[in-house]
C-alpha cells in the first residue's frame, strides 16, 4: 500500500514537472499572467523608472514646443544651464511626471492585459494571430493577436488611462513650462481650478486622445511585429543544446539559437516607439499648445489653423527629435521591465491548482 502511494506521488510529481516544461506551460502560468494587481504593479515599476531617468528630455520637449517659433535644442539647454540651479531645473516637474507616467503605465498595462486576455479567450477568430510562439523562444507573457486586435486593444487601453491621468498631465505641462511661475505642483493645481474650473484640468484631452490612441495602437502593432522578426533572426540569442528525437535508441542533440527576451523586447520597444512617434508628433504639439495657452486656442482645429498661419507647418514637428529619443528609450525600458517582471513571476509562481488538476 505504501509502495503504491509512493509510486503515485512520484508519478504525480514527474507529471507536474513535465507539464510545467511542456507545451501546456502557457495554460499553467495563465493565473499569474492574468492577475490585474500584478500587471498594475509591474506597470507602475516600469513607468516610474523611465519617468525619473528621462525627465530632462520631457522638460526640454515641452520648452521647445511652447515657443511660437520652434526653438533649437541647444538654445533651450543653454537657457536652463544658465539658471541658478541648472540640475534642479532639468528635473523640474519630476513628481507630476512620475505620477503621470507611473500610474498611467500601471493603468495602461493592466487594462491592455485584460483586453488582450479577453480577446484571446473569447474574441472572434479573425482577431487571433493563429499560433503561439514556440515555448523555447518565447519572449513575451502576452497572448499573440492579429494586427487589428493589437491596434484596437492598444488604442482603447491608452485612451482610458490618458483620461484618468489627464489632470496630472495638465499640471505637469504647466509646471514644466516657463510661462507660469508656479512654486509647487499643488499651487499649480489650485490655480488651474480657481481660474479655469475643473474643466481646466482636462484641457487638451481631445488632442491627447487623438495622439495617444493611434500611437498606442501602432506601437503595439510595430512592437509585436518587431519581436516576431527579431525572434526569427535569433537576435541577441545564445546557442543551446536541444534533443530533437531518438535514432537507434540515442537522442540527437542539436544546437539552436534561443533569443534573449531582454534584447528582443528592448530593441523592439525602441523601434516601435520611433515609428509611432514620428507619425503622431503633430498631435503632441497641438496638445501642448492647448494645455499651455487655453485662452488663445479654442479647440484642436483652431489651434492647428492658427499654428499653420503664424508659425508654418514646421511648428507641428517641434520637439520631434527629443520626443522620438525619449519615447524610444522610455518605451524600451518600460516594456522590457514590464515583460521581464511578468515572465519571472510566471516561472517563480506557476499555477499549482491547474497543475494538480491536470496531473493523474
Distance CA 227, CA 61 (A): 29
Answer yes or no: is 25 within a domain: no
Answer yes or no: is 26 within a domain: no
Distance CA 273, CA 326 (A): 9
pLDDT digit string (tens) for 292-324?
888 888 888 999 999 999 988 888 888 788 888
Distance CA 135, CA 58 (A): 38
Instruction: Check residue 139 and give its pLDDT.
Output: 61
Structural domain span for residue 169: 34-241+252-358
Answer yes or no: is 259 within a domain: yes
Angle between helices 94-122 and 166-176 (to 10 degrees): 150
Answer yes or no: is 198 within a domain: yes
Instruction: Check residue 332 and give its pLDDT.
Output: 92
Answer yes or no: is 17 within a domain: no
> Which CATH number belongs to the domain containing residue 144 in this structure?
1.50.40.10
Answer yes or no: is 3 within a domain: no
Answer yes or no: is 270 within a domain: yes
Instruction: Check residue 309 and give its pLDDT.
Output: 92
Instruction: Check residue 343 and give its pLDDT.
Output: 82
Do the Cβ atoms of 154 and 146 come closer than 8 Å? no
For the chain, the domain total comes to 1
Burial class (CB in 10 A: 0-12, 13-18, 19+), 114: middle
Distance CA 328, CA 31 (A): 31
Distance CA 278, CA 323 (A): 9
Answer yes or no: is 20 within a domain: no
Distance CA 121, CA 4 (A): 39
Instruction: Check residue 143 and give its pLDDT.
Output: 76
360 residues of the chain, pLDDT tens digit each = 555 554 544 444 444 444 444 444 444 444 555 577 888 999 999 999 888 888 888 888 777 777 655 567 778 888 888 888 888 888 888 888 888 889 999 999 999 999 988 888 776 655 555 444 444 445 666 778 888 888 999 999 999 999 999 998 888 888 877 777 788 888 888 999 999 899 889 988 887 888 889 999 999 999 999 998 988 887 655 544 444 445 455 555 554 545 568 889 999 999 999 999 998 888 888 888 888 888 888 888 999 999 999 988 888 888 788 888 888 998 999 999 998 888 887 777 665 444 444 344
Question: Other CB atoms closer than 10 Å to residue 3's CB: what's the count?
Answer: 7
Amino acid at each position: 500500500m505504501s509502495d503504491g502511494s509512493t509510486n503515485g506521488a512520484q508519478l504525480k510529481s514527474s507529471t507536474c514537472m513535465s507539464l510545467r516544461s511542456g507545451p501546456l506551460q502557457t495554460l499553467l502560468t495563465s493565473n499569474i499572467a492574468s492577475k490585474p494587481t500584478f500587471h498594475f504593479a509591474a506597470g507602475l515599476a516600469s513607468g516610474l523608472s523611465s519617468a525619473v531617468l528621462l525627465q530632462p528630455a520631457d522638460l526640454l520637449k515641452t520648452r521647445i514646443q511652447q515657443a511660437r517659433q520652434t526653438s533649437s535644442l541647444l538654445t533651450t539647454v543653454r537657457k536652463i544651464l544658465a539658471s541658478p540651479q541648472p540640475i534642479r531645473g532639468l528635473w523640474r516637474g519630476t513628481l507630476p511626471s512620475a505620477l503621470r507616467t507611473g500610474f498611467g503605465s500601471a493603468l495602461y498595462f493592466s487594462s491592455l492585459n485584460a483586453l488582450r486576455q479577453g480577446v484571446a479567450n473569447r474574441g472572434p477568430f479573425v482577431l487571433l494571430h493563429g499560433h503561439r510562439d514556440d515555448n523555447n523562444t518565447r519572449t513575451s507573457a502576452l497572448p499573440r493577436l492579429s494586427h487589428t486586435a493589437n491596434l484596437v486593444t492598444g488604442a482603447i487601453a491608452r485612451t482610458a488611462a490618458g483620461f484618468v491621468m489627464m489632470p496630472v498631465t495638465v499640471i505637469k505641462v504647466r509646471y514644466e513650462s516657463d510661462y507660469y511661475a508656479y512654486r509647487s505642483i499643488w499651487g499649480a493645481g489650485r490655480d488651474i481650478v480657481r481660474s479655469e474650473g475643473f474643466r481646466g484640468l482636462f484641457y487638451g484631452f481631445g488632442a491627447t486622445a487623438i495622439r495617444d490612441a493611434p500611437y498606442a495602437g501602432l506601437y503595439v502593432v510595430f512592437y509585436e511585429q518587431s519581436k516576431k522578426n527579431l525572434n526569427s533572426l535569433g537576435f541577441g540569442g545564445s546557442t543551446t543544446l536541444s534533443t530533437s528525437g531518438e535514432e537507434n535508441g540515442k537522442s540527437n542533440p542539436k544546437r539552436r539559437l534561443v533569443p534573449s527576451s531582454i534584447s528582443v523586447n528592448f530593441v523592439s520597444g525602441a523601434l516601435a516607439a520611433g515609428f509611432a512617434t514620428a507619425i503622431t508628433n503633430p498631435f503632441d504639439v497641438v496638445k501642448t499648445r492647448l494645455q499651455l495657452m487655453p485662452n488663445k486656442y479654442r479647440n484642436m482645429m483652431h489651434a492647428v489653423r492658427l499654428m499653420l498661419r503664424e508659425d508654418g507647418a514646421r511648428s507641428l514637428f517641434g520637439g520631434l527629435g527629443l520626443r522620438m529619443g525619449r519615447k524610444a528609450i522610455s518605451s524600451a525600458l518600460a516594456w522590457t521591465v514590464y515583460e521581464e517582471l511578468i515572465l519571472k513571476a510566471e516561472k517563480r509562481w506557476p499555477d499549482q491548482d491547474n497543475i494538480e488538476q491536470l496531473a493523474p
